[in-house]
Amino acid sequence: MSAKTDTTTLILDNAQRMVQTRGYHAFSYADISAEVGIRKASIHYYFPHKSDLGRELVARYRESVRSQRRWICLQTSVPEERLQLFAELYRDMLRSGHPEAQGRICLCASLATDLMGLPPAVREEIQSYYIESEAWLAEVLEAGRSSGLLRFDGPAPVQARALFAGFQGAMLLARAHGDAEQYCMVAHRLLAQLGLPIAE
């Protein structure tokens, strides 16, 4: 219950939710102001420019997902289970929010759309997120193949990127269809193709 409730965190939390649901260019300092309960000008005290806010948003998100991957590695050392738990991170994002999920997708999937219209500093954070995520998946895939539990051809980094692309796209599709469960079905299928026994 002792969640951090300092102003910086409140601003970031609300900004992140809005980017995940509406995109970078569709939220403003005025929107945050209304949610957090302080005036527009006060937000500039914490984040002088919107690009500062954007960069910090991605940096924090990267660190958060990184820490969730570490958590996954503590839970299990079975490659299939690690992939399954990773898929569930994104499932939980889609489901999060009020009763009927509003549909939050991966922060970086949302930002990747506007990529070309984003400050360079933000763009680089996004690229790093993708590189990190794909590298982790590649490691897990390779471990699974070595142990004979996963089956796929070609280099693990390519398979990792294909799997990751599937997750990112599945989030977009699930939200467009207005049904978070569509994500789960697709994720399940993607993992099953790797030779996973029926799980979850």
- Interface residue with its own copies among 147, 185, 199, 200 (CB under 8 A) is 185
Position 30 contacts its own copies (CB under 8 A): no
Q: Does 45 bind DNA (CB under 7 A)?
A: yes
Q: Is 6 in the site for its own copies (CB under 8 A)?
A: no
Selected from 34, 135, 192, 199, the binder of its own copies by CB under 8 A is: 192
How many residues lie near DNA (CB under 7 A)? 17
Query: Phi/psi at 13 (nearest 5 deg)?
Result: -60, -45
Q: What phi and psi values does residue 181 have, to the nearest 5 degrees?
A: -65, -25
Which of 30, 135, 189, 199 contacts its own copies by CB under 8 A? 189
Burial of 101 (0-12, 13-18, 19+ CB in 10 A): middle
Closer by beta carbon to DNA, 2 or else 5 = 5
With binding defined as CB under 7 A, does residue 48 bind DNA?
A: yes
Q: How many CA atoms lie within 13 A of 183 on its CB side?
A: 30
Which are the contacts of 85, defined by CB distance < 8 A and separation ≥ 6?
Answer: 72, 75, 76
Q: Is 116 in the site for DNA (CB under 7 A)?
A: no
Rounded CA separation 50/15 (Å): 10
For position 78 contacting its own copies by CB under 8 A, the verdict is no
Using the rule CB under 8 A, is 152 a contact of its own copies?
yes
